[in-house]
Protein backbone atom coordinates (compact mmCIF):
# COMPACT_ATOMS: atom_id res chain seq x y z
CA UNK A 1 0.00 0.00 0.00
CA UNK A 2 1.51 3.34 -1.02
CA UNK A 3 2.27 5.74 1.82
CA UNK A 4 1.97 9.51 2.04
CA UNK A 5 5.68 9.87 1.24
CA UNK A 6 5.07 8.37 -2.20
CA UNK A 7 2.62 11.16 -2.93
CA UNK A 8 4.02 14.13 -1.08
CA UNK A 9 7.69 14.20 -2.04
CA UNK A 10 9.75 16.98 -0.46
CA UNK A 11 10.13 18.93 -3.70
CA UNK A 12 6.34 18.87 -4.14
CA UNK A 13 5.83 20.30 -0.67
CA UNK A 14 8.46 22.94 -1.43
CA UNK A 15 6.61 24.10 -4.55
CA UNK A 16 3.34 24.00 -2.61
CA UNK A 17 4.67 26.19 0.18
CA UNK A 18 6.63 28.48 -2.17
CA UNK A 19 4.84 28.48 -5.52
CA UNK A 20 6.86 29.85 -8.47
CA UNK A 21 5.49 32.32 -11.03
CA UNK A 22 2.43 33.07 -8.95
CA UNK A 23 0.33 36.05 -10.10
CA UNK A 24 -1.21 37.57 -13.20
CA UNK A 25 -0.15 39.25 -16.46
CA UNK A 26 -1.84 42.08 -18.36
CA UNK A 27 -4.39 40.80 -20.89
CA UNK A 28 -3.65 41.59 -23.69
CA UNK A 29 -0.86 41.12 -24.64
CA UNK A 30 -1.00 37.99 -22.46
CA UNK A 31 -3.70 35.36 -22.85
CA UNK A 32 -5.75 34.07 -19.93
CA UNK A 33 -7.02 30.48 -19.68
CA UNK A 34 -9.09 28.93 -16.95
CA UNK A 35 -9.16 25.28 -15.96
CA UNK A 36 -11.39 23.44 -13.50
CA UNK A 37 -11.36 20.14 -11.72
CA UNK A 38 -15.05 19.43 -11.21
CA UNK A 39 -14.30 16.67 -8.71
CA UNK A 40 -12.72 18.88 -6.09
CA UNK A 41 -13.55 22.40 -7.22
CA UNK A 42 -9.93 23.31 -7.98
CA UNK A 43 -9.57 26.28 -10.27
CA UNK A 44 -6.47 27.40 -12.11
CA UNK A 45 -5.85 30.45 -14.27
CA UNK A 46 -2.81 30.54 -16.55
CA UNK A 47 -1.51 33.76 -18.09
CA UNK A 48 0.78 33.28 -21.08
CA UNK A 49 3.02 35.65 -23.02
CA UNK A 50 4.37 34.25 -26.29
CA UNK A 51 7.15 36.11 -28.10
CA UNK A 52 7.53 36.40 -31.88
CA UNK A 53 9.62 33.21 -32.01
CA UNK A 54 6.85 31.16 -30.45
CA UNK A 55 8.55 31.02 -27.07
CA UNK A 56 6.80 31.32 -23.71
CA UNK A 57 8.43 34.55 -22.61
CA UNK A 58 6.41 34.75 -19.41
CA UNK A 59 3.87 32.71 -17.48
CA UNK A 60 1.86 33.37 -14.33
CA UNK A 61 -0.44 31.09 -12.37
CA UNK A 62 -3.37 32.01 -10.16
CA UNK A 63 -6.32 30.15 -8.72
CA UNK A 64 -6.64 27.71 -5.88
CA UNK A 65 -6.16 24.05 -5.38
CA UNK A 66 -4.61 21.22 -3.42
CA UNK A 67 -0.89 20.72 -2.88
CA UNK A 68 -0.66 18.37 -5.86
CA UNK A 69 -2.38 20.67 -8.34
CA UNK A 70 -0.57 23.76 -7.00
CA UNK A 71 2.86 22.19 -6.99
CA UNK A 72 2.31 20.62 -10.40
CA UNK A 73 1.36 24.07 -11.76
CA UNK A 74 4.36 25.67 -10.07
CA UNK A 75 6.82 23.09 -11.38
CA UNK A 76 5.23 23.31 -14.82
CA UNK A 77 5.62 27.09 -14.93
CA UNK A 78 9.31 26.80 -14.09
CA UNK A 79 9.79 24.04 -16.66
CA UNK A 80 8.13 25.75 -19.62
CA UNK A 81 9.26 29.35 -19.23
CA UNK A 82 11.62 30.31 -22.04
CA UNK A 83 10.81 27.26 -24.11
CA UNK A 84 9.17 27.07 -27.52
CA UNK A 85 5.61 25.92 -27.94
CA UNK A 86 6.81 22.74 -29.66
CA UNK A 87 9.15 21.92 -26.81
CA UNK A 88 6.36 22.54 -24.32
CA UNK A 89 4.00 20.29 -26.24
CA UNK A 90 6.56 17.47 -26.11
CA UNK A 91 7.07 18.07 -22.40
CA UNK A 92 3.31 18.00 -21.86
CA UNK A 93 3.03 14.69 -23.70
CA UNK A 94 5.89 13.23 -21.69
CA UNK A 95 4.37 14.41 -18.42
CA UNK A 96 0.94 13.04 -19.23
CA UNK A 97 2.46 9.77 -20.37
CA UNK A 98 4.13 9.53 -16.96
CA UNK A 99 0.84 10.31 -15.22
CA UNK A 100 -1.15 7.73 -17.10
CA UNK A 101 -1.09 6.26 -20.55
CA UNK A 102 -4.66 5.25 -19.84
CA UNK A 103 -5.80 8.83 -19.42
CA UNK A 104 -4.12 9.93 -22.65
CA UNK A 105 -5.86 7.19 -24.59
CA UNK A 106 -9.19 8.10 -23.03
CA UNK A 107 -8.77 11.61 -24.34
CA UNK A 108 -8.15 10.41 -27.86
CA UNK A 109 -4.45 11.09 -27.91
CA UNK A 110 -3.48 7.47 -28.41
CA UNK A 111 -2.96 7.78 -32.16
CA UNK A 112 0.69 7.45 -32.99
CA UNK A 113 1.49 6.72 -29.38
CA UNK A 114 4.32 4.41 -30.37
CA UNK A 115 5.93 7.01 -32.61
CA UNK A 116 5.66 9.50 -29.80
CA UNK A 117 7.20 7.12 -27.31
CA UNK A 118 10.57 7.25 -29.05
CA UNK A 119 10.50 11.04 -29.27
CA UNK A 120 9.38 11.39 -25.67
CA UNK A 121 12.23 9.24 -24.42
CA UNK A 122 14.50 12.23 -25.05
CA UNK A 123 12.38 14.65 -23.06
CA UNK A 124 13.90 15.47 -19.67
CA UNK A 125 11.26 15.77 -16.97
CA UNK A 126 13.69 16.85 -14.27
CA UNK A 127 11.96 17.90 -11.05
CA UNK A 128 8.63 16.87 -12.55
CA UNK A 129 9.69 13.27 -11.92
CA UNK A 130 8.74 13.89 -8.30
CA UNK A 131 5.11 13.73 -9.33
CA UNK A 132 5.45 10.16 -10.55
CA UNK A 133 4.15 8.83 -7.23
CA UNK A 134 0.77 10.46 -7.90
CA UNK A 135 -0.03 7.57 -10.24
CA UNK A 136 -0.36 5.35 -7.17
CA UNK A 137 -3.24 7.56 -6.03
CA UNK A 138 -5.57 7.47 -9.03
CA UNK A 139 -8.06 10.07 -7.78
CA UNK A 140 -5.22 12.59 -7.53
CA UNK A 141 -4.02 12.21 -11.14
CA UNK A 142 -6.54 14.82 -12.27
CA UNK A 143 -5.03 17.21 -9.71
CA UNK A 144 -1.58 16.79 -11.23
CA UNK A 145 -2.73 17.12 -14.85
CA UNK A 146 -5.08 20.10 -14.37
CA UNK A 147 -2.36 22.71 -15.00
CA UNK A 148 -1.02 20.82 -18.02
CA UNK A 149 -4.41 20.43 -19.65
CA UNK A 150 -5.10 24.11 -19.06
CA UNK A 151 -1.71 25.05 -20.51
CA UNK A 152 -2.41 23.00 -23.64
CA UNK A 153 -5.71 24.80 -24.03
CA UNK A 154 -3.98 28.14 -23.47
CA UNK A 155 -1.39 27.42 -26.14
CA UNK A 156 -4.13 26.59 -28.61
CA UNK A 157 -5.94 29.81 -27.78
CA UNK A 158 -2.71 31.82 -28.01
CA UNK A 159 -2.38 30.53 -31.56
CA UNK A 160 0.94 28.80 -30.96
CA UNK A 161 1.62 25.99 -33.37
CA UNK B 1 -41.61 0.92 25.45
CA UNK B 2 -41.33 4.27 27.14
CA UNK B 3 -37.78 3.46 28.15
CA UNK B 4 -36.69 2.51 24.66
CA UNK B 5 -38.00 5.73 23.17
CA UNK B 6 -36.37 8.02 25.70
CA UNK B 7 -33.01 6.37 26.39
CA UNK B 8 -30.11 7.65 24.30
CA UNK B 9 -28.76 5.58 21.43
CA UNK B 10 -25.59 3.61 22.14
CA UNK B 11 -23.69 4.10 18.90
CA UNK B 12 -20.90 1.74 19.92
CA UNK B 13 -23.47 -1.06 20.15
CA UNK B 14 -25.26 -0.01 16.95
CA UNK B 15 -21.99 -0.22 15.01
CA UNK B 16 -22.27 -4.01 15.36
CA UNK B 17 -25.40 -3.92 13.19
CA UNK B 18 -23.27 -2.62 10.29
CA UNK B 19 -20.93 -5.24 8.79
CA UNK B 20 -18.65 -2.70 7.15
CA UNK B 21 -18.08 -0.75 10.36
CA UNK B 22 -16.84 -3.75 12.33
CA UNK B 23 -15.48 -6.07 9.66
CA UNK B 24 -13.42 -3.85 7.39
CA UNK B 25 -10.08 -2.20 8.00
CA UNK B 26 -8.49 0.60 6.02
CA UNK B 27 -4.74 1.16 6.20
CA UNK B 28 -4.61 -1.34 9.05
CA UNK B 29 -7.15 0.41 11.24
CA UNK B 30 -10.91 0.00 11.65
CA UNK B 31 -12.81 2.41 9.43
CA UNK B 32 -13.98 5.64 11.03
CA UNK B 33 -16.82 6.41 8.66
CA UNK B 34 -17.70 10.11 8.63
CA UNK B 35 -19.27 10.45 5.19
CA UNK B 36 -22.88 9.49 5.82
CA UNK B 37 -24.16 12.64 4.13
CA UNK B 38 -22.78 11.12 0.92
CA UNK B 39 -24.17 7.67 1.66
CA UNK B 40 -24.91 5.84 4.89
CA UNK B 41 -23.66 2.40 5.79
CA UNK B 42 -26.17 -0.43 5.61
CA UNK B 43 -27.23 -2.59 8.55
CA UNK B 44 -27.21 -6.39 8.26
CA UNK B 45 -31.05 -6.49 8.27
CA UNK B 46 -31.15 -4.47 5.04
CA UNK B 47 -28.57 -6.66 3.31
CA UNK B 48 -30.44 -9.76 4.48
CA UNK B 49 -33.79 -8.48 3.22
CA UNK B 50 -32.37 -7.93 -0.25
CA UNK B 51 -30.59 -11.27 -0.30
CA UNK B 52 -33.75 -13.06 0.84
CA UNK B 53 -35.70 -11.42 -1.96
CA UNK B 54 -33.21 -12.65 -4.56
CA UNK B 55 -32.90 -16.12 -3.04
CA UNK B 56 -36.59 -16.84 -2.41
CA UNK B 57 -39.01 -14.59 -4.33
CA UNK B 58 -37.09 -13.02 -7.22
CA UNK B 59 -39.75 -12.31 -9.86
CA UNK B 60 -40.99 -9.22 -11.65
CA UNK B 61 -43.71 -7.25 -9.92
CA UNK B 62 -47.24 -6.38 -11.02
CA UNK B 63 -47.12 -9.00 -13.80
CA UNK B 64 -46.99 -12.68 -12.90
CA UNK B 65 -49.89 -14.47 -11.24
CA UNK B 66 -47.67 -17.15 -9.79
CA UNK B 67 -46.91 -17.28 -6.10
CA UNK B 68 -43.44 -15.75 -5.94
CA UNK B 69 -44.40 -12.92 -8.33
CA UNK B 70 -47.31 -12.11 -6.08
CA UNK B 71 -45.08 -12.19 -3.01
CA UNK B 72 -42.51 -9.91 -4.66
CA UNK B 73 -45.30 -7.48 -5.53
CA UNK B 74 -46.69 -7.66 -2.01
CA UNK B 75 -43.31 -6.96 -0.45
CA UNK B 76 -42.59 -4.04 -2.75
CA UNK B 77 -45.99 -2.51 -2.04
CA UNK B 78 -45.51 -3.20 1.68
CA UNK B 79 -42.30 -1.16 1.45
CA UNK B 80 -44.30 1.69 -0.12
CA UNK B 81 -46.70 1.59 2.82
CA UNK B 82 -43.73 1.64 5.23
CA UNK B 83 -42.48 4.79 3.51
CA UNK B 84 -45.93 6.35 3.77
CA UNK B 85 -46.10 5.75 7.51
CA UNK B 86 -42.47 6.85 8.01
CA UNK B 87 -43.17 10.30 6.52
CA UNK B 88 -46.83 10.46 7.61
CA UNK B 89 -48.13 10.85 4.06
CA UNK B 90 -51.92 10.84 3.72
CA UNK B 91 -52.02 8.28 0.88
CA UNK B 92 -49.84 5.33 -0.14
CA UNK B 93 -50.53 6.19 -3.77
CA UNK B 94 -48.66 9.47 -3.23
CA UNK B 95 -45.38 7.61 -2.63
CA UNK B 96 -43.52 7.31 -5.94
CA UNK B 97 -40.36 5.21 -6.10
CA UNK B 98 -37.58 6.75 -8.15
CA UNK B 99 -33.87 6.10 -8.59
CA UNK B 100 -32.82 8.71 -6.02
CA UNK B 101 -33.66 12.20 -4.79
CA UNK B 102 -32.08 13.69 -7.89
CA UNK B 103 -34.51 11.79 -10.10
CA UNK B 104 -37.37 12.76 -7.79
CA UNK B 105 -36.56 16.44 -8.25
CA UNK B 106 -36.10 15.98 -12.00
CA UNK B 107 -39.53 14.35 -12.07
CA UNK B 108 -41.09 17.39 -10.41
CA UNK B 109 -39.34 19.79 -12.78
CA UNK B 110 -39.74 17.69 -15.91
CA UNK B 111 -43.37 16.77 -15.38
CA UNK B 112 -45.07 19.35 -13.17
CA UNK B 113 -42.72 22.17 -14.15
CA UNK B 114 -42.84 21.58 -17.88
CA UNK B 115 -46.65 21.33 -17.82
CA UNK B 116 -47.33 24.29 -15.56
CA UNK B 117 -44.61 26.92 -16.04
CA UNK B 118 -44.47 29.44 -18.85
CA UNK B 119 -42.09 32.15 -20.06
CA UNK B 120 -41.47 34.76 -17.39
CA UNK B 121 -42.64 32.56 -14.52
CA UNK B 122 -40.60 32.85 -11.35
CA UNK B 123 -38.92 30.00 -9.48
CA UNK B 124 -37.37 30.80 -6.10
CA UNK B 125 -34.42 28.72 -4.84
CA UNK B 126 -31.82 29.26 -2.10
CA UNK B 127 -28.06 29.72 -2.09
CA UNK B 128 -27.59 26.48 -0.14
CA UNK B 129 -29.20 24.10 -2.61
CA UNK B 130 -27.58 20.92 -3.86
CA UNK B 131 -27.00 20.92 -7.61
CA UNK B 132 -29.91 18.46 -7.87
CA UNK B 133 -32.26 21.24 -6.83
CA UNK B 134 -30.61 23.86 -9.05
CA UNK B 135 -29.64 22.36 -12.38
CA UNK B 136 -33.04 20.83 -13.31
CA UNK B 137 -34.62 24.25 -12.75
CA UNK B 138 -31.86 25.93 -14.77
CA UNK B 139 -32.47 23.46 -17.59
CA UNK B 140 -36.18 24.22 -17.62
CA UNK B 141 -35.48 27.95 -17.24
CA UNK B 142 -33.31 27.85 -20.37
CA UNK B 143 -36.01 25.98 -22.25
CA UNK B 144 -38.97 28.08 -21.11
CA UNK B 145 -37.47 31.45 -20.24
CA UNK B 146 -38.14 31.23 -16.50
CA UNK B 147 -36.75 33.69 -13.96
CA UNK B 148 -34.76 32.15 -11.10
CA UNK B 149 -34.52 34.04 -7.81
CA UNK B 150 -32.37 33.15 -4.84
CA UNK B 151 -32.88 33.36 -1.08
CA UNK B 152 -29.48 34.38 0.39
CA UNK B 153 -27.82 33.26 3.64
CA UNK B 154 -26.95 35.13 6.80
CA UNK B 155 -23.52 35.04 8.44
CA UNK B 156 -24.49 32.04 10.59
CA UNK B 157 -25.53 29.91 7.63
CA UNK B 158 -29.28 30.27 8.06
CA UNK B 159 -31.54 31.42 5.25
CA UNK B 160 -31.84 35.21 5.29
CA UNK B 161 -35.61 35.67 4.99
CA UNK B 162 -35.55 39.47 5.29
CA UNK B 163 -36.70 39.93 1.70
CA UNK B 164 -38.74 36.75 1.43
CA UNK B 165 -41.98 38.53 0.53
CA UNK B 166 -40.31 40.44 -2.29
CA UNK B 167 -38.57 37.30 -3.59
CA UNK B 168 -41.83 35.36 -3.56
CA UNK B 169 -43.81 38.11 -5.26
CA UNK B 170 -45.60 36.48 -8.24
CA UNK B 171 -43.52 33.30 -7.78
CA UNK B 172 -44.87 29.99 -9.07
CA UNK B 173 -42.42 27.73 -7.23
CA UNK B 174 -40.41 27.79 -4.02
CA UNK B 175 -37.93 24.90 -3.96
CA UNK B 176 -35.59 24.55 -0.99
CA UNK B 177 -33.65 22.10 1.13
CA UNK B 178 -34.95 21.06 4.55
CA UNK B 179 -31.36 20.48 5.69
CA UNK B 180 -28.23 21.70 3.93
CA UNK B 181 -25.84 18.92 2.92
CA UNK B 182 -22.93 21.29 3.58
CA UNK B 183 -23.89 23.62 6.43
CA UNK B 184 -26.22 21.22 8.20
CA UNK B 185 -28.68 24.10 8.51
CA UNK B 186 -32.27 23.12 9.27
CA UNK B 187 -34.54 25.50 7.38
CA UNK B 188 -37.94 26.73 8.66
CA UNK B 189 -39.88 24.37 6.41
CA UNK B 190 -43.41 25.21 7.57
CA UNK B 191 -42.81 28.95 7.44
CA UNK B 192 -41.51 28.62 3.88
CA UNK B 193 -44.28 26.35 2.61
CA UNK B 194 -46.88 28.69 4.14
CA UNK B 195 -45.20 31.69 2.53
CA UNK B 196 -45.17 29.89 -0.82
CA UNK B 197 -48.83 28.98 -0.58
CA UNK B 198 -49.75 32.53 0.42
CA UNK B 199 -48.69 33.65 -3.06
CA UNK B 200 -50.08 30.57 -4.79
CA UNK B 201 -46.68 28.98 -5.38
CA UNK B 202 -45.94 25.27 -5.20
CA UNK B 203 -43.55 24.25 -2.39
CA UNK B 204 -40.89 21.66 -3.29
CA UNK B 205 -38.77 20.32 -0.43
CA UNK B 206 -35.43 18.58 -0.95
CA UNK B 207 -35.47 16.39 2.16
CA UNK B 208 -32.56 14.17 1.15
CA UNK B 209 -30.50 15.13 4.23
CA UNK B 210 -33.54 15.53 6.46
CA UNK B 211 -35.56 12.30 6.26
CA UNK B 212 -32.61 10.08 7.36
CA UNK B 213 -31.96 12.18 10.46
CA UNK B 214 -35.12 13.93 11.67
CA UNK B 215 -38.65 12.63 12.38
CA UNK B 216 -40.49 13.57 9.19
CA UNK B 217 -44.14 14.50 8.73
CA UNK B 218 -44.88 15.68 5.20
CA UNK B 219 -48.38 16.72 6.23
CA UNK B 220 -47.00 18.96 8.98
CA UNK B 221 -44.37 20.33 6.57
CA UNK B 222 -47.20 21.60 4.39
CA UNK B 223 -45.17 20.76 1.29
CA UNK B 224 -46.50 19.89 -2.16
CA UNK B 225 -43.53 17.70 -3.13
CA UNK B 226 -40.86 16.08 -0.94
CA UNK B 227 -37.83 14.27 -2.39
CA UNK B 228 -35.35 11.95 -0.68
CA UNK B 229 -33.00 9.01 -1.30
CA UNK B 230 -32.95 5.55 0.24
CA UNK B 231 -29.19 5.15 0.40
CA UNK B 232 -28.63 7.96 2.90
CA UNK B 233 -31.06 6.38 5.40
CA UNK B 234 -29.51 2.92 5.84
CA UNK B 235 -31.13 1.68 2.62
CA UNK B 236 -29.52 0.56 -0.63
CA UNK B 237 -28.48 2.74 -3.56
CA UNK B 238 -30.78 2.83 -6.56
CA UNK B 239 -34.05 3.71 -4.86
CA UNK B 240 -35.41 7.12 -3.96
CA UNK B 241 -38.79 8.58 -3.16
CA UNK B 242 -40.92 11.40 -4.44
CA UNK B 243 -43.89 12.17 -2.28
CA UNK B 244 -46.40 14.55 -3.83
CA UNK B 245 -49.93 15.67 -3.09
CA UNK B 246 -52.30 13.36 -4.95
CA UNK B 247 -54.20 16.09 -6.78
CA UNK B 248 -50.95 17.51 -8.18
CA UNK B 249 -49.57 14.08 -9.15
CA UNK B 250 -52.91 13.16 -10.72
CA UNK B 251 -52.92 16.20 -12.98
CA UNK B 252 -49.28 15.79 -14.04
CA UNK B 253 -48.21 14.18 -17.31
CA UNK B 254 -46.02 11.07 -17.01
CA UNK B 255 -42.26 11.53 -16.69
CA UNK B 256 -40.83 8.40 -18.33
CA UNK B 257 -42.80 6.24 -20.74
CA UNK B 258 -42.76 2.47 -20.94
CA UNK B 259 -44.14 -0.59 -19.22
CA UNK B 260 -45.88 -0.39 -15.85
CA UNK B 261 -46.86 3.27 -16.25
CA UNK B 262 -49.63 2.58 -18.78
CA UNK B 263 -53.20 1.36 -18.54
CA UNK B 264 -53.62 0.77 -22.25
CA UNK B 265 -51.52 1.24 -25.35
CA UNK B 266 -52.95 1.38 -28.85
CA UNK B 267 -51.27 2.35 -32.09
CA UNK B 268 -52.93 5.76 -31.76
CA UNK B 269 -51.71 6.46 -28.25
CA UNK B 270 -51.75 5.41 -24.60
CA UNK B 271 -53.56 6.00 -21.34
CA UNK B 272 -51.76 6.24 -18.01
CA UNK B 273 -51.83 3.87 -15.08
CA UNK B 274 -53.09 4.99 -11.66
CA UNK B 275 -50.86 6.65 -9.09
CA UNK B 276 -48.17 5.90 -8.15
CA UNK B 277 -47.35 3.51 -11.01
CA UNK B 278 -47.99 6.24 -13.59
CA UNK B 279 -44.53 7.55 -12.61
CA UNK B 280 -42.80 4.17 -12.38
CA UNK B 281 -42.03 3.16 -15.95
CA UNK B 282 -40.09 -0.04 -16.42
CA UNK B 283 -39.10 -2.73 -13.94
CA UNK B 284 -38.53 -0.92 -10.65
CA UNK B 285 -35.62 -1.54 -8.27
CA UNK B 286 -37.54 -4.32 -6.50
CA UNK B 287 -34.82 -5.60 -4.19
CA UNK B 288 -33.89 -2.03 -3.35
CA UNK B 289 -37.42 -0.97 -2.40
CA UNK B 290 -37.66 -4.05 -0.16
CA UNK B 291 -34.26 -3.11 1.28
CA UNK B 292 -35.51 0.42 1.89
CA UNK B 293 -38.52 -1.05 3.71
CA UNK B 294 -36.13 -2.98 5.95
CA UNK B 295 -34.12 0.20 6.56
CA UNK B 296 -37.27 1.99 7.65
CA UNK B 297 -38.11 -0.88 10.01
CA UNK B 298 -34.61 -0.55 11.45
CA UNK B 299 -34.86 3.22 11.91
CA UNK B 300 -38.33 3.01 13.43
CA UNK B 301 -37.09 0.28 15.76
CA UNK B 302 -34.52 2.75 17.05
CA UNK B 303 -36.93 5.68 17.01
CA UNK B 304 -36.26 8.70 14.84
CA UNK B 305 -36.58 10.99 17.87
CA UNK B 306 -33.65 9.14 19.43
CA UNK B 307 -31.68 9.31 16.18
CA UNK B 308 -32.20 13.08 16.09
CA UNK B 309 -31.31 13.46 19.80
CA UNK B 310 -28.12 11.45 19.26
CA UNK B 311 -27.10 13.60 16.33
CA UNK B 312 -27.69 16.80 18.28
CA UNK B 313 -25.36 15.37 20.93
CA UNK B 314 -22.81 14.39 18.28
CA UNK B 315 -22.95 17.77 16.52
CA UNK B 316 -22.50 19.49 19.88
CA UNK B 317 -19.59 17.25 20.85
CA UNK B 318 -17.87 17.67 17.48
CA UNK B 319 -18.28 21.46 17.47
CA UNK B 320 -16.92 21.66 21.02
CA UNK B 321 -13.95 19.29 20.55
CA UNK B 322 -12.83 20.67 17.20
CA UNK B 323 -13.16 24.30 18.25
CA UNK B 324 -11.45 23.74 21.62
CA UNK B 325 -8.64 21.77 20.11
CA UNK B 326 -7.93 23.87 17.04
CA UNK B 327 -9.33 27.32 17.85
CA UNK B 328 -8.76 29.79 15.03
CA UNK B 329 -7.12 27.11 12.90
CA UNK B 330 -10.47 25.54 12.06
CA UNK B 331 -13.55 27.18 10.53
CA UNK B 332 -16.67 25.07 10.80
CA UNK B 333 -19.41 26.39 8.54
CA UNK B 334 -23.07 26.65 9.42
CA UNK B 335 -25.07 27.21 12.61
CA UNK B 336 -23.18 27.09 15.92
CA UNK B 337 -26.21 25.83 17.86
CA UNK B 338 -26.51 22.00 17.57
CA UNK B 339 -30.32 22.10 17.76
CA UNK B 340 -30.40 24.27 14.63
CA UNK B 341 -28.40 21.88 12.51
CA UNK B 342 -27.63 18.31 11.55
CA UNK B 343 -24.39 16.50 12.38
CA UNK B 344 -22.77 17.41 9.07
CA UNK B 345 -19.70 19.58 9.54
CA UNK B 346 -18.04 21.22 6.58
CA UNK B 347 -14.82 22.89 7.59
CA UNK B 348 -11.62 24.58 6.53
CA UNK B 349 -8.50 23.71 8.49
CA UNK B 350 -5.31 25.78 8.57
CA UNK B 351 -4.49 26.56 4.96
CA UNK B 352 -4.71 22.93 4.02
CA UNK B 353 -6.66 22.02 0.93
CA UNK B 354 -9.51 19.58 1.64
CA UNK B 355 -7.99 17.06 -0.75
CA UNK B 356 -4.78 17.06 1.24
CA UNK B 357 -6.66 16.85 4.53
CA UNK B 358 -8.72 13.89 3.41
CA UNK B 359 -5.64 12.16 1.97
CA UNK B 360 -3.91 12.23 5.35
CA UNK B 361 -7.13 11.35 7.19
CA UNK B 362 -7.49 8.35 4.91
CA UNK B 363 -4.14 7.05 6.15
CA UNK B 364 -5.74 7.00 9.62
CA UNK B 365 -8.82 5.18 8.40
CA UNK B 366 -10.93 8.34 8.70
CA UNK B 367 -13.33 8.73 5.77
CA UNK B 368 -14.45 12.30 5.07
CA UNK B 369 -15.61 14.02 1.92
CA UNK B 370 -13.44 16.64 0.25
CA UNK B 371 -14.78 18.88 -2.47
CA UNK B 372 -17.68 21.15 -3.27
CA UNK B 373 -20.37 18.69 -2.15
CA UNK B 374 -22.42 19.34 -5.29
CA UNK B 375 -23.11 22.85 -4.03
CA UNK B 376 -20.80 25.10 -6.03
CA UNK B 377 -23.00 28.21 -5.71
CA UNK B 378 -22.79 27.80 -1.93
CA UNK B 379 -19.00 27.34 -2.10
CA UNK B 380 -18.79 30.69 -3.91
CA UNK B 381 -20.98 32.33 -1.25
CA UNK B 382 -18.66 30.92 1.43
CA UNK B 383 -15.68 32.17 -0.59
CA UNK B 384 -13.98 28.78 -0.79
CA UNK B 385 -13.31 26.41 -3.67
CA UNK B 386 -13.91 23.33 -1.61
CA UNK B 387 -14.18 22.16 1.98
CA UNK B 388 -13.63 19.00 3.93
CA UNK B 389 -16.82 17.57 5.38
CA UNK B 390 -17.38 15.14 8.22
CA UNK B 391 -20.93 13.88 8.48
CA UNK B 392 -22.14 11.70 11.34
CA UNK B 393 -25.00 9.28 11.73
CA UNK B 394 -26.60 7.07 14.34
CA UNK B 395 -23.57 4.73 14.43
CA UNK B 396 -20.98 7.43 15.14
CA UNK B 397 -19.80 8.14 18.67
CA UNK B 398 -17.40 10.43 20.53
CA UNK B 399 -14.46 8.19 19.67
CA UNK B 400 -15.06 8.77 15.97
CA UNK B 401 -14.93 12.52 16.55
CA UNK B 402 -11.74 12.10 18.61
CA UNK B 403 -10.21 10.04 15.79
CA UNK B 404 -11.03 12.86 13.38
CA UNK B 405 -9.37 15.41 15.65
CA UNK B 406 -6.27 13.23 16.07
CA UNK B 407 -6.02 12.73 12.31
CA UNK B 408 -6.33 16.50 11.73
CA UNK B 409 -3.40 17.03 14.10
CA UNK B 410 -1.44 14.46 12.10
CA UNK B 411 -2.30 16.28 8.87
CA UNK B 412 -1.06 19.61 10.22
CA UNK B 413 2.12 17.92 11.46
CA UNK B 414 2.72 16.26 8.11
CA UNK B 415 2.46 19.51 6.16
CA UNK B 416 4.34 21.39 8.91
CA UNK B 417 1.81 24.19 8.98
Q: Express each pLDDT in A91-111 by its tens digit.
A: 898 888 888 755 444 454 444
A41 contacts B386? CB cut-off 8 A = yes
Residue B367 among the catalytic residues: no
Which of A9, A12, A42, A66 has the highest number of chain B CBs within 10 A, making it the mutation to test binding with B? A66
Quote the pLDDT of residue B169. Answer: 98
Residue A3, chain B, CB below 8 Å: the answer is yes
CA distances from B121 to B113, B169, B201 (A): 10, 11, 11
Quick one: A84 exposed, middle or buried, by C-beta within 10 A (0-12, 13-18, 19+)? middle
Quote the pLDDT of residue B63. Answer: 80
Q: What are the structural domains of chain A?
A: 4-157 (3.90.1010.10)
Quote the pLDDT of residue A137. Answer: 83
Give the ranges where B180-275 is alpha helix by DSSP (H).
Answer: 189-198, 218-221, 246-251
Quote the pLDDT of residue A114. Answer: 52
Which parts of chain B have pLDDT scores under 70? 1-5, 417
Quote the pLDDT of residue A157. Answer: 82
Quote the pLDDT of residue B16. Answer: 96
Residue A137, chain B, CB below 8 Å: the answer is yes
- Closest Cα in chain A, distance from residue B182 (Å): 14
Mean pLDDT of chain A: 82
CA atoms within 13 A on the CB side of B202: 20
d(CA B389, CA B382): 14
* Nearest-CB residue to B363 (from A4, A41, A42): A4
Query: Which DSSP state fits A55?
Result: B
Q: Express each pLDDT in B342-382 by its tens digit.
A: 999 999 998 899 999 999 999 999 999 998 899 989 998 99
Q: Which residue of B has its CA nearest to A140?
A: B355
Among the listed residues B145, B72, B88, B93, the one whose alpha carbon sits nearest the alpha carbon of residue B114: B145
Q: What are the structural domains of chain B?
A: 2-30+303-415 (3.90.1150.10), 47-300 (3.40.640.10)
- Cβ neighbours for B406, distance < 8 A, ≥ 6 positions apart: B364
B359 contacts A41? CB cut-off 8 A = no
Of A32-41, A121-130, B389-398, the range with the lowest mean pLDDT is: A121-130
Quote the pLDDT of residue A161. Answer: 47
Quote the pLDDT of residue B260. Answer: 86
Comparing B141 with A113, which gets the higher pLDDT? B141
Residues in chain B with CB shorter than 8 Å from the CB of A67 are 353, 355-356, 415
d(CA B22, CA B37): 20
**B366 close to B29: Cβ distance less than 8 angstroms:** no
A39 contacts B354? CB cut-off 8 A = no
- ipTM, two decimals: 0.77
At A42, the pLDDT band (50, 70, 90 cuts) reads confident
Quote the pLDDT of residue A3. Answer: 78
Residue A45, chain B, CB below 8 Å: the answer is no
* Helices A10-17, A67-80: crossing angle, 10 deg rounding: 90
Amino acid sequence: MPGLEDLYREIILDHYRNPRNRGELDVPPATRTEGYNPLCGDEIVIFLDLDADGRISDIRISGQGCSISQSSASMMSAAVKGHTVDEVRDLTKAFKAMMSIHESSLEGEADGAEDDAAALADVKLGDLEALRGVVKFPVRIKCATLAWNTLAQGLNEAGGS
Amino acid sequence: MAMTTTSPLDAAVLKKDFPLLVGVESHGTPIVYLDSAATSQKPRVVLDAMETYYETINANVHRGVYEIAEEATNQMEAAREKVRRFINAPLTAEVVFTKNATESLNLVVGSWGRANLREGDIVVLTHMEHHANIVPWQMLAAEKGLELRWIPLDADGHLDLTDLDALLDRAKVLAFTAMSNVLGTLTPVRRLTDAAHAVGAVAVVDACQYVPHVPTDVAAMGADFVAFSGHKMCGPTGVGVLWGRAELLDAMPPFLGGGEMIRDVRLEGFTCNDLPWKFEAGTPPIAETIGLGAAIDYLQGLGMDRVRAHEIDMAGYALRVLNERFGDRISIYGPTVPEERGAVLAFSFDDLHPHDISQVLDQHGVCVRAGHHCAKPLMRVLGVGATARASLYLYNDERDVDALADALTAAADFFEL
